[in-house]
Structure 1
Amino acid sequence: MNWNFSEISKSFLKDDKGKLLVEGNFGMEKESQRVTSSGDLALTFHPAVFGDKIKNPRITTDFSESQIEMITPTFKSIEEVYAELDTINIEVENGIGDELLWPLSMPPRLPDEDNIPIARFPDSEDGKYMETYRNGLALRYGKKMQMISGIHYNFSFSEGMVDYLYKRFGNGNDKRSFIDEMHFALARNFLRYRWMLIYLFGASPYSHHTYYSVINNEIEIIQKCCQCCVDVIENFNKYATSLRVSRFGYSNALKNKHSIYFNSLEEYSEELRKLMATKNTEYSKLGVYKNGSQIQLNGNILQKENEFYSSIRLKQNTNEGETQLDALEKRGVKYIEVRILDLNPFEKVGLSIDEMNFLQVFMLFCLFEQSDIITEDEHARINLNHHLVALYGRKENLMLQKYNKGTIGLKSWGKEIFERLKNVAELMDKGTGDDKYCKIVEEEYKKLFDISLLPSERIHREMEENNENFLEFGTRYAINNSQKNIIRKT
């Protein structure tokens, strides 16, 4: 989908529809590890006060018994969803007793692999399925990698916004096809420019030494295929912004080398189903059953679609018995899930309202920017930029890959992108009659030329100034961020 932003902006202004740009539906999902006051992973069961994990729509677990997941309903404003996440966060803190919520994406001090508790579910068909899937993840990738946490940002455009775009730019095409194409075009640009979010919001430059086995294993793989890369890759701890989304974090894209380009719903569906139906030699050798118990769902490249790690997902509300992919194929794209955000230890719930507002500007930029089909070569460059910024984003004069060949400095490219972000923010502000979005974009722009403002650099400097290690820093913020026993007025 190729938009003309000049034409779009004139259209919104002429029709006095600028307010549609700030409308939408918003939801959040936050993962956090429960820890003891010493920063050790809590080995206790998921607190009974939260009830059945399958039935509680607000508080459940992710991979591990110790990994709480908080889920908000959908709201019409960022402020409302933020307030709800804060409320759930406080409820969780009050429900875990003397334990704390770990404020960082990279895990706390972990026990031996065998002692990391996989989430347990009721002895039902659904419960067994969910446990088997998690056992399969542990078998394939190791438990430590699965202990990484983050925040997922769910967003959909308002019906008014979609209807307006279709009316003005649909050219008589089928509405559902137009909506799908619109979202897939956005997703392609999100992939292209996600390195910017990793730079601005990455907050996982370090890990605890109990996680080093995962990193060392990855370095061994690199050593086997690219000996000359080893010296460079081992210097990541000087410059990293986000280990979480790097090749040392939660990503299976490199391990299995599967590529999905988001070029269309048909292509996306076909490729994902192929991955779920194709046997993987390594996983098949592990077996599906051991000593009479099922240890993974199957021996395929992906046990199910959730195992495909992507920094963005396009989703549809599901009916009973449907998978996400079934729902997408039947009814098309409904909303977007951004999965690239680290927990920010400097914010009590892991992110700020300003960060969420910037994301809204960024998503509109991704929607209105020209979005050609992604080729294999461009996809490789996109992924390289992702990992360069994740591991070396704080390095002076870092060079990135331009998608039409050649290289460009991070700051130079960032400046170009921010000019377009400012244009989007101005259009949003004209629609609301204030300057909120322009101010937010201006604040983020400062990070391009002052790395001391980056969360990753702030973590680095605080640890140095306080002579703290990773565990001490994380524990201090776990205590500082705790809002236990806060009573809210109704």
Structure 2
Amino acid sequence: MNWDFSEILTSFLKDKKGKLLSEGNFGFERESQRIISSGDLALTPHPPVFGDKLENQRITTDFSESHIEMITPTFKTIEEAYEELNTICTEVENGIGDELLWPLSMPPKLPDENNIPIASFPDSEEGIYKEIYRKGLALRYGKKMQMISGIHYNFSFDKEMVDYLYDLLGNGKDKRSFINEIHFALTRNFLRYRWMLIYLFGASPFCHPTYYSVIDKEIKIIQKSCSSCVESIKNFNQYATSLRVSRFGYSNILKHNQNIYFNSLDEYSKKIRKLMTTRNDDYSKLGLYKNNSQIQLNGNILQNESEFYSSIRLKQNIGKDETQLDALEKRGVQYVEVRILDLNPFEKLGLSLEQMYFIQVFMLFCLFEQSNPITEEEYDRINLNHHLITLFGRKENLLLQKYNGRAIALKQWGEEIFVKLKMIADLMSNATGDDKYRNSVENEHKKLFDISFLPSERIHREMENNKEDFLEFGTRCAVNNLNIN
């Protein structure tokens, strides 16, 4: 889409539509492991006080029986969604008794792989399907990788804002097609600039030794393709920002050449459906049944569309007997789901309101910035920047790859982006009479030049200063968060 950032902002200012930038629909999903006071994974069943996992829309499980998932409905303001997440989190804390919510994205002390309990569901068609799908994930990737947690942020633009953009830039095209186009354009820019969010909010620089087997396996894979890379990667603890979204975390970005560029709904749909119907030799050899029990849904590259990992997803509310992909194809994009956020152990809910104000500004930047289709060459640079930031983001003078092919210092590129972020935040704050957007951008800007403000660096320094290991630090934060009203 041929959009000009300055012209769009000028139009919002001239037409006095700046307030629309702060409006929309907002919701959160938070995953956390239940632990006992020692920091070990709780092996107790999902507390019965929360009822049927398939029926409770607020509190359910993710991969494991110990893997609590808290889900808010959508609200008209970030503050309302945040307060509802707080209410649900408090309900969970009260319902798990003497157990605690692990406050970090990388898992706590894990038992042997065989003893990690996959979530069980009622003996219904839906429940059986969910269990088999999880068994397939365990078979393909190992259970430990599935124990990673995070925050998902769901939001859609206000209808009045979409209508305004359509009147301004629609050029008479079909409105549903226009809405799809702006969401895919936003998503491509999110992929291009997500390294910024990983740098600013990455909060998983360490993991427990019980997770090392996953890392060792990945290092062996790296060694086969780039033996000279191994030594620097082995020192990831020194500079990492987010193991969760690194190649040591839950990501199949590099597997099976899954180059999905989000250039259009048609391209996206065709590629996902091909991955779901293409046989994978390795997965097929694992078999579908063991001891008369089904252990994966199929032997294809993806068991279903949920297995495709992406740092952002485009979504539509689904109807009865409908998949997410069906819904997108029939009715187009309704909202986006940001999936790249680590749990921040210094925040009771795993994230702060100020962080969400910044992300709202960031998403508008992604929408307004020029967004050409992604090529294979650019896609490789996008992923390179992603992995550089996850494992070396705190390294002084880190160089990234700009999408014109030249190297650029993280700080320099960050400065260029923050110029535009500040323009958006100023417009939003002036239009609403509230400095929260301007202040959030100014506070995040400080992290470019002082890494002591980064959550990943704060974790590193606290563990070092307190002479704590990963388990001691996480357990202390869990107790501290429990005591916050």
TM-score range, shorter chain: over 0.9
Q: Determine what percentage of the aligned residue pairs are the same residue.
A: 75
Structure 2 segments unaligned to the other structure (5+ residues): none
Do 2:354 and 2:436's aligned partners in 1 also have CA atoms closer than 8 Å? no
How far 1:3 moved relative to its partner?
Answer: 1.4
Partner of 1:166: 166
Partner of 1:275: 275
* Matched letter for residue 387 of structure 2: H
* Matched letter for residue 253 of structure 1: I
How far 1:435 moved relative to its partner?
Answer: 2.6
For 2:475 and 2:235, the matched residues in 1 are separated by 26
- Listed as ranges, the matches of 1:368-447 within 5 Å are 368-447=368-447
- Listed as ranges, the matches of 1:197-236 within 5 Å are 197-236=197-236
| Aligned residue-pair number | 485
How far 1:483 moved relative to its partner?
Answer: 4.6
Q: Which moved more, 1:129-138 or 1:287-296?
A: 287-296
Q: Partner of 1:30: helix, strand, or coil?
A: strand
Partner of 1:36: 36
For 1:292 and 1:259, the matched residues in 2 are separated by 36
Q: Partner of 1:60: helix, strand, or coil?
A: strand
For 1:349 and 1:433, the matched residues in 2 are separated by 27
Partner of 1:116: 116
Do 2:348 and 2:481's aligned partners in 1 also have CA atoms closer than 8 Å? yes
Q: Partner of 2:345: helix, strand, or coil?
A: coil
For 2:53 and 2:357, the matched residues in 1 are separated by 31
- Listed as ranges, the matches of 1:89-488 within 5 Å are 89-483=89-483
Task: Give the TM-score normalised by structure 1.
Answer: 0.98
For 1:237 and 1:200, the matched residues in 2 are separated by 17
* Matched letter for residue 12 of structure 2: F
1:85 aligns with 2:90: no
Do 1:204 and 1:244's aligned partners in 2 also have CA atoms closer than 8 Å? yes
* Matched letter for residue 330 of structure 2: K
Q: Partner of 1:253: helix, strand, or coil?
A: coil
Partner of 2:57: 57
* Matched letter for residue 290 of structure 2: K
For 2:411 and 2:101, the matched residues in 1 are separated by 35
How far 1:167 moved relative to its partner?
Answer: 1.0
Task: Give the TM-score normalised by structure 2.
Answer: 0.99
* Matched letter for residue 400 of structure 1: L
* Matched letter for residue 170 of structure 1: G
Deviations 1:46-85 (A, max 9, x none): 0000000000000000000000000000000011000000
How far 1:406 moved relative to its partner?
Answer: 1.4
For 2:327 and 2:115, the matched residues in 1 are separated by 37
How far 1:429 moved relative to its partner?
Answer: 1.6
For 1:287 and 1:434, the matched residues in 2 are separated by 58
Do 1:312 and 1:339's aligned partners in 2 also have CA atoms closer than 8 Å? yes
How far 1:259 moved relative to its partner?
Answer: 1.1
For 1:9 and 1:350, the matched residues in 2 are separated by 32
How far 1:472 moved relative to its partner?
Answer: 0.2
Q: Partner of 2:381: helix, strand, or coil?
A: helix
For 2:313 and 2:370, the matched residues in 1 are separated by 20
How far 1:10 moved relative to its partner?
Answer: 2.0
Do 1:2 and 1:369's aligned partners in 2 also have CA atoms closer than 8 Å? no
User: Which 4+ stretches in 1 moved above 4 angstroms?
Assistant: none
For 2:188 and 2:9, the matched residues in 1 are separated by 21
Q: Which moved more, 1:420-429 or 1:180-189?
A: 420-429
Do 1:256 and 1:301's aligned partners in 2 also have CA atoms closer than 8 Å? yes
For 1:356 and 1:40, the matched residues in 2 are separated by 31
Partner of 2:23: 23
Structure 1 segments unaligned to the other structure (5+ residues): none
Q: Partner of 2:255: helix, strand, or coil?
A: helix
Do 1:34 and 1:101's aligned partners in 2 also have CA atoms closer than 8 Å? yes
How far 1:263 moved relative to its partner?
Answer: 0.2
CA RMSD of aligned residues (A): 0.8
Do 1:90 and 1:483's aligned partners in 2 also have CA atoms closer than 8 Å? no
Do 1:245 and 1:340's aligned partners in 2 also have CA atoms closer than 8 Å? yes
Do 1:64 and 1:117's aligned partners in 2 also have CA atoms closer than 8 Å? yes
For 2:35 and 2:257, the matched residues in 1 are separated by 34
